Homo-oligomer: A and B are copies of this chain.
Amino acid sequence: MSGFDFKIKYNDKRSNARVGVIHTVHGDIQTPAFVPVGTQATVKSLDNQDLEKVGTQVFFINTYHVYLRPGLEVVKKFGGLHCFTGWNKPLMTDSAGFQIFSLGDFNRQRKLCLQGETLQVPLVKISDKGVIFRSHLDGSEHFFTPEKSIEAQMILGADIMIAFDECTFYPATYDYAKQAMLRTHEWASRCLTAARGKPNGQALYGVVQGGIFEDLRKQSAKYISSLPFEGIAIGGVSVGESKKEMRDVLDWVVPLLPAEKPRHLLGVGEIDDIFSLVERGIDSFDCVMPTRLGRMGQVLVRKVEDRGWKLDITKAMYASDKRPIDETCDCLVCKNYHRAYLHHLFRARELLAYRLATYHNLYFLEKLMQDIRQSIKEGRLAQLKKEWL
Contact = CB atoms under 8 A, between A and B. Distances in A.
Interface of A: 40-42, 44-49, 69-70, 73-74, 77-78, 84-86, 319-320, 322, 332, 336-338, 340-341, 343-345, 347-348, 350-352, 354-356
Nearest to A337: B86
A341 B45 CA distance: 14
B78 A352 contact: no
A334 to B, nearest CB: 11
Given A77-B320, A344-B69, A84 B351 contact: no
12 contacts: A40-B344, A46-B352, A47-B356, A69-B344, A69-B347, A70-B347, A74-B320, A77-B320, A77-B322, A78-B338, A84-B338, A84-B344
Task: List 6 A-B pairs, minimum CB-CB distance, nearest first.
Answer: A45-B351, A70-B344, A40-B348, A86-B336, A77-B320, A42-B350
A217 to B, nearest CB: 36
B78 A345 contact: no
Nearest to A332: B49
B42 A340 contact: no
Nearest to A350: B42
B338 A42 contact: no
B320 A45 contact: no
Count this chain's copies in the assembly. 2
Contacts of A41: 341, 344
B322 A78 contact: yes
A328 to B, nearest CB: 19
A354 B356 contact: no
A344 B69 CA distance: 8
B77 A348 contact: no
Nearest to A83: B338
Contacts of A338: 78, 84, 86
A336 B48 contact: yes
A233 to B, nearest CB: 26
B355 A47 contact: yes
Given A49-B332, A320-B77, A332-B49, A70 B354 contact: no
Contact of A74 (B86, B344, B356): B344
A85 B85 CA distance: 31
A322 B79 CA distance: 12
A46 B46 CA distance: 11
Contacts of A356: 47
A47 B45 CA distance: 12
Contacts of A84: 338, 340-341, 344
B355 A70 contact: no
A340 B78 contact: yes
B44 A350 contact: yes
Nearest to A70: B344
Nearest to A343: B70
A42 B355 contact: no
A341 B44 contact: no
B47 A352 contact: yes
A51 to B, nearest CB: 11
A340 B74 contact: yes
A386 B186 CA distance: 69
A4 B263 CA distance: 62
A301 to B, nearest CB: 19
Given A49-B332, A78-B338, A338-B84, A44 B344 contact: no
A340 B84 CA distance: 8
Nearest to A85: B341
Nearest to A88: B336
Contacts of A319: 70, 74
A355 B351 contact: yes
A300 B45 CA distance: 21
B70 A340 contact: yes
